[in-house]
Structure 1
Amino acid sequence: MKLTLTKEDLNKGLQTIAKIAQSKTNNLQSSNGFLLKALHNVIEIQANDYEMGIKTIVPGIIEEPGETFIANPYLIELIHKLPSDSVQLCKKDTDTKLLIIGGSVKFECATMNISDFNEVEIVESGYAQFTTNSIILKDLIDHTSFACSTNTERPIFMGTHLDVEKNRINMVATDTHRLALKTYMSETPITTPIKVTIPSRLLMEISRNLPIDIPEPVTITAVRNYLAIRFSNVYIKTRLIEGEYPKYERVIPKDFQCTVTTDRAAFTSAVERVSLVVQNPQYNLIKFSFSQNQIKLMSRHPDYGVVEDLVACDMTGEDLTISFNSKYILDLLKHCHEEKIIINLRTQSPVLIKDKDDSSCVFVVTPMREK
């Protein structure tokens, strides 16, 4: 095998598969690593950790075709730091070393038996398939995945749920204390509904690789126990979480005692200040008192005192006092983007928060009781 690539193209390809290639303990006894394949005028890099497989195509010159399996924790960083703009990769069929040359640097990298690598299988069809674009998909993921649980005892809540029916694409995540729902209406209806739950750790890896400079077409294919995502020169296959996702629509409140409109930045700053002094950092409890012209925020610590702050607002409905975990409130506020937000409330019921002029994304947080 003899290849010549630009450092930029090779580095971009390696960064695409890096987290999967290095997701286990990196040592030469591990099946961890990546496959470099130069056959049929195509240079491919792929990694597979059995939960997710990624395959990407990189441009380059193939002087001699070949393939090699590399499990070296230093290689990706070394390629990134090479002093030249061009990289040459050479390996004789009988060698167990891959020679990497970049400017003044030569690196003889140990390789592994190719038969030990589990190649990423490309699937062209499944029981359902739809197409969106990279910016929309990233938006769906980034507005929801943060709300997932980290509790391994309830694995279904460690995933983000994709619910596609006709023209509606819903992505939702919850840890049972908070919920994030993002909706996109597609111009093209899907004929077969999709209801799958994707591990959020893997979904964030997909988001990391999605191009956002310009919208690239993304094809999503649902197979029995995994999802396949294809965009530009990247193919990703991710396992799904087994089990039925809860009926999330039922926990989204619809009847409210009061509706509050306030400035997002001012409200966020007030929550940040007041949450600095809380009795129990595990729960970050803040009391919110909503009235016609203002929101009063209050937290207390038995040893360090009481903090209060006021934020102006417009309100319709009844005055109301309720407590929430400030971390959950701050997390969702990071995903609101308009100048004004709407807060919908009912006594001792979940709050619904959204941007004033955008109903495509809603956030729900359950209240806390003061002890």
Structure 2
Amino acid sequence: MKLKFKKEDLTKGLQTVQKVAQNKSNNISYENGLLIKALKDVIEIQANDYDMGIKVIVPGIIEEPGEVFISNPFLIELTRRLPSDEIEMKKQDADTKLTVLGGKSKFECLTMNPDDFNEVTLIDSGYSNFSTDSITLKNLIDNTSYACSTDDARPIFMGTLMEVNESTLTMVATDTHRLALKKVILEQSIEQPIKAIIPSRLLAEISRQMPTDMPQVVEITAIRNNIAFKFSNVYIKTRLIEGEFPNYRRVIPSEFSCKVMVERNEFTGSVERTSIIAKDSQYDVINFIFEDNQIKLTSQHPDYGTVEDYVACSMEGEQLNISFNGKFILDILKHCKSNEIILKSKANSPMLVQEKGEDSYIYVVTPMRTR
């Protein structure tokens, strides 16, 4: 095998697969590497572990076709630091080393048997498929998956639900204490509905790969217990979490005794100040009192004292005294974009948070019991 690349193209390709290639979640060495495959006039770089497979097509010149399997965590860093804009890779069929050349520098990398690599197979059709754009998908992921649980004792809550019915794409995440939901309308309806629970850590990697400088078409294919994303020169296939996602519609409140509209930046600042003491306590508890067109926020720590803060608001309905986890409230506010936020709740009930004029984006947070 003999290949030539521009350093920028090769580095970008290696960075695309880096996280999967260096996944150390298991002890099998051949699951922790990458495959460079140059056949049929296309150069592919692949990485695959038990949970995610990723394939990227990299521009380059194939002088001699071939493939090589490498498990070397230093390859990406060394390649990036080579003192040349042109990089050459070569390996003789009988050799066990891949030679990487750039300028006057040479790097020899030990290789393994390519037959031991679990290749990322491209699946063009599953039981259902649809398309959206990269910016829309990234926004869906980033504004929901943060609400997933990190408790591996309840794996169903460690994933985000992707639900597609006709022309509506909805993503929902919850850890049972909070919920984030966002939906968009697709340009075309699908015939077969999709209901897939995608692990949040895999969604984070997909979000990282999404191009944001210019929207690109993302083709999404559902395949039994996997789902695949194809965009630009990248193909990603991830496993799904098995099980039944809870009926999230039942936990979205619909009856309220108090409705408040507040300026997002002012409210965020007030919550941050009040959290300074609260976040050092066990549960980050902040008490909120909604009355007389203002919100009173208080928190206390048994060893350090109390904090009290106020923020103006526009209020309808009854006075409300309720407590929430300050971190959860801040997470919601940091993912909002509108200048004005609407809070709806009633005594001892979950609070619904929405951005003014935005019905497709919903947050729910449950109150905390205080003495």
TM-score range, shorter chain: over 0.9
Instruction: Answer with 28-37 or 95-104: which moved more.
Output: 28-37
Please state how far the C-alpha of 1:115 moved relative to its aligned partner: 1.0
Aligned residues with identical type, % of pairs? 60
**Structure 2 vs 1, CA of residues 316 and 27 (structure 1 numbering), >3 Å: closer, same or farther?**
closer
Q: What code does the residue aligned with 1:312 have?
A: A
**Structure 2 vs 1, CA of residues 295 and 101 (structure 1 numbering), >3 Å: closer, same or farther?**
same
Instruction: Answer with 185-194 or 63-72: which moved more.
Output: 185-194
**Alpha-carbon distance in 2 for matches of 1:15, 1:186:** 31
**Residue 120 of structure 1 corresponds to which residue in structure 2?**
120
**Alpha-carbon distance in 2 for matches of 1:95, 1:260:** 70
TM-score by length of 2: 0.98
**Alpha-carbon distance in 1 for matches of 2:296, 2:81:** 53
Kept in 1: contact 2:31–2:48 (CA 8 A): no
What is the correspondence of 1:26-45 to structure 2 with a 5 Å cutoff? 29-45=29-45
TM-score by length of 1: 0.98
Q: What code does the residue aligned with 2:278 have?
A: V
Q: Residue 4 of structure 1 aligns to a residue in which SS?
A: strand
Please state how far the C-alpha of 1:216 moved relative to its aligned partner: 0.6
Kept in 1: contact 2:162–2:195 (CA 8 A): yes
**Alpha-carbon distance in 2 for matches of 1:359, 1:131:** 22
Q: Residue 183 of structure 1 aligns to a residue in which SS?
A: strand
**Alpha-carbon distance in 2 for matches of 1:29, 1:331:** 38
Structure 1 runs not aligned, ≥5 long: none
**Residue 186 of structure 1 corresponds to which residue in structure 2?**
186
Q: What code does the residue aligned with 1:230 have?
A: K
**Residue 213 of structure 1 corresponds to which residue in structure 2?**
213
Q: Which runs of 4+ in 1 moved over 4 A?
A: 25-30
**Residue 282 of structure 2 corresponds to which residue in structure 1?**
282
**Alpha-carbon distance in 2 for matches of 1:215, 1:187:** 15
Q: What code does the residue aligned with 1:269 have?
A: G
Kept in 1: contact 2:281–2:301 (CA 8 A): no
**Alpha-carbon distance in 2 for matches of 1:220, 1:89:** 33
**Residue 317 of structure 1 corresponds to which residue in structure 2?**
317
**Structure 2 vs 1, CA of residues 29 and 195 (structure 1 numbering), >3 Å: closer, same or farther?**
closer
Q: What code does the residue aligned with 2:81 have?
A: K
Please state how far the C-alpha of 1:31 moved relative to its aligned partner: 3.2
Q: Residue 337 of structure 2 aligns to a residue in which SS?
A: coil
**Structure 2 vs 1, CA of residues 108 and 272 (structure 1 numbering), >3 Å: closer, same or farther?**
same
Q: Residue 8 of structure 2 aligns to a residue in which SS?
A: helix
**Residue 48 of structure 1 corresponds to which residue in structure 2?**
48
Q: Residue 188 of structure 1 aligns to a residue in which SS?
A: coil
Kept in 1: contact 2:342–2:355 (CA 8 A): yes
Please state how far the C-alpha of 1:29 moved relative to its aligned partner: 4.4
Q: Is 1:154 paired with 2:149? A: no
**Alpha-carbon distance in 2 for matches of 1:221, 1:24:** 27
Q: What code does the residue aligned with 1:342 have?
A: I
Q: What code does the residue aligned with 1:290 have?
A: F
Kept in 2: contact 1:13–1:45 (CA 8 A): yes
Q: What code does the residue aligned with 1:115 have?
A: D
Kept in 2: contact 1:227–1:240 (CA 8 A): yes
Q: Residue 215 of structure 1 aligns to a residue in which SS?
A: coil
Please state how far the C-alpha of 1:177 moved relative to its aligned partner: 0.3
**Alpha-carbon distance in 2 for matches of 1:83, 1:105:** 7
Kept in 1: contact 2:57–2:234 (CA 8 A): yes
**Alpha-carbon distance in 1 for matches of 2:220, 2:204:** 16
Instruction: Answer with 301-310 or 69-78: which moved more.
Output: 301-310
Please state how far the C-alpha of 1:348 moved relative to its aligned partner: 0.7
Q: Deviations over 1:139-164 (max 9, x none)?
A: 11000000000111110000000010
**Alpha-carbon distance in 2 for matches of 1:38, 1:134:** 28
**Residue 339 of structure 2 corresponds to which residue in structure 1?**
339
**Alpha-carbon distance in 2 for matches of 1:219, 1:259:** 40
**Residue 265 of structure 1 corresponds to which residue in structure 2?**
265
Kept in 2: contact 1:26–1:73 (CA 8 A): no
Kept in 1: contact 2:156–2:242 (CA 8 A): yes
**Alpha-carbon distance in 2 for matches of 1:35, 1:100:** 15
**Residue 176 of structure 2 corresponds to which residue in structure 1?**
176
Q: Deviations over 1:182-212 (max 9, x none)?
A: 1101121111110110001111111100111
Q: Is 1:11 paired with 2:14? A: no
**Residue 359 of structure 2 corresponds to which residue in structure 1?**
359
Q: Deviations over 1:223-272 (max 9, x none)?
A: 11100111111111100000010010110111111111111111111111
Number of residue-to-residue matches in the alignment? 371
Instruction: Answer with 16-25 or 33-42: which moved more.
Output: 16-25
**Alpha-carbon distance in 2 for matches of 1:307, 1:180:** 28
**Alpha-carbon distance in 1 for matches of 2:100, 2:26:** 20
Q: Residue 215 of structure 2 aligns to a residue in which SS?
A: coil
Please state how far the C-alpha of 1:278 moved relative to its aligned partner: 2.5
**Structure 2 vs 1, CA of residues 58 and 185 (structure 1 numbering), >3 Å: closer, same or farther?**
same
Q: What code does the residue aligned with 2:77 have?
A: E
**Structure 2 vs 1, CA of residues 109 and 28 (structure 1 numbering), >3 Å: closer, same or farther?**
farther
Q: What code does the residue aligned with 1:151 have?
A: D
**Structure 2 vs 1, CA of residues 129 and 334 (structure 1 numbering), >3 Å: closer, same or farther?**
same
Please state how far the C-alpha of 1:279 moved relative to its aligned partner: 8.2
Structure 2 runs not aligned, ≥5 long: none
Please state how far the C-alpha of 1:122 moved relative to its aligned partner: 0.8
Q: Residue 277 of structure 1 aligns to a residue in which SS?
A: helix
Q: What code does the residue aligned with 1:149 have?
A: S
Q: What code does the residue aligned with 1:202 have?
A: L
Instruction: Answer with 43-52 or 279-288: which moved more.
Output: 279-288
**Structure 2 vs 1, CA of residues 362 and 279 (structure 1 numbering), >3 Å: closer, same or farther?**
closer
**Alpha-carbon distance in 1 for matches of 2:26, 2:279:** 42
**Alpha-carbon distance in 2 for matches of 1:104, 1:27:** 36
